[in-house]
Amino acid sequence: MTTVALYARVSSKKQEKNNTIESQIAELKSRIAEDKHELLDEYEFKDNGFSGWNLERKGLDALRDKVAEDEIDKIYIHSPDRLSRKSAHQMVLLDEFEKAGIEVIFLNHKTENNPESKLLLGIQGLVSEYEGTKIIERSRRGKLHRARKGCVSVISKKPFGYDLVKHVDREKTKVEINEEKAKIVRDLFEWVGLER
């Protein structure tokens, strides 16, 4: 019997809440069934809310451990950027899997063991890395623009002692002092000042 595994990843909590990882898994399971393989639960590896820029991921580490133990014949992954957003990491992982004799199947990329296929995969990896970098750049630029306009919705967490007053128009979201908590902050600063 061929032992198959699947790996799925989403990078944000928003994607996690929208069940995009579940849609990946459903598509992967469908393809595995189409290929007439059986997937055991212990070979379903996933990382919810983990960046593809980082190689240290719980699900990926568990998959790599199984690969090292020579327990897997095929790995199904939705697309190369789900494996990693960084081209160099993709190549390292794919090389690791290939050396272990594992076939990697991407749903959106036909993988063949020839120079042309590897070149195309490398180019797609670089494009994915570029795309990820541009997303980060646009997000940072947008947050900076909103911050310069006085919009506070760019902060991920409100500071202690403040309440976030949300508005339908994100530009009008603001922070207000929470007097009860602000007293605690003032007391802390006063105590530190007295100790000096």
Listed by start position, the domains of the chain span: 4-133, 162-195
Averaged pLDDT score across all residues of the chain: 84
Q: What is the mean pLDDT of residues 168-172?
A: 70
- Three-state DSSP at 116 gives helix
pLDDT in tens, 113-161: 777 877 877 787 788 778 878 887 888 888 777 777 766 655 667 778 8
Among residues 107, 133, 110, which one has the least CA distance to residue 121? 110
Lowest mean pLDDT: which of 5-9, 16-20, 92-96?
A: 16-20
What was the pLDDT predicted at 16?
A: 46
Looking at domain 4-133, its CATH superfamily turns out to be: Resolvase, N-terminal catalytic domain (3.40.50.1390)
Q: Cα–Cα distances in Å, from 85 out to 56, 90, 98, 138?
A: 13, 8, 19, 17
Tell me if residue 11 is catalytic. yes
Where is pLDDT greater, at 6 or 53? 6
Q: Cα–Cα distances in Å, from 112 out to 83, 87, 115, 138, 168?
A: 17, 18, 9, 35, 50
- The whole model's pTM is what? 0.67
Quick one: what percent of the chain has pLDDT higher than 90?
33
Lowest mean pLDDT: which of 14-23, 60-69, 106-115, 126-135?
A: 14-23
Among residues 26, 102, 28, 20, which one has the least CA distance to residue 64? 102
Cβ burial 102-135 (10 Å sphere, 16+ → b, else e):
bebbbeeeebeeeeeebeebbebbeebbeebeee
Q: Which of 11, 84, 128, 153 is catalytic?
A: 11
Q: What is the mean pLDDT of residues 168-182?
A: 79
Q: Cα–Cα distances in Å, from 42 out to 45, 62, 72, 184?
A: 8, 10, 11, 49
Residue 109 DSSP label: B
- Residue indicated by tokens 């990329």: 109
163: part of which helix (H) or strand (E)? strand 162-165
